[in-house]
Amino acid sequence: MKKKVLFVCIHNSARSQMAEAFLNQLCPETFAAQSAGLEPGRLNPIVVEAMKEIGVDISGNRTKSVSEFVGHGFDYVVTVCDETSAERCPVFPGRTQRLHWGFADPSSFQGSHAEKLSRTRAVRDTIQAKIVEWCGEVCPRVPA
Told to judge if 9 belongs to the known catalytic residues of this protein, a careful annotator would answer yes
Q: How far apart are the first and last CA of the chain?
A: 22
Among residues 27, 89, 135, 139, the one annotated as catalytic is: 89
Angle at 21 between CA 19 and CA 27, to 5 degrees: 90
Closest CA to 18 of 46, 58, 45: 58
| Cα gap 38→109, rounded to integer Å | 20
Q: Which residues are catalytic?
A: 9, 81, 89
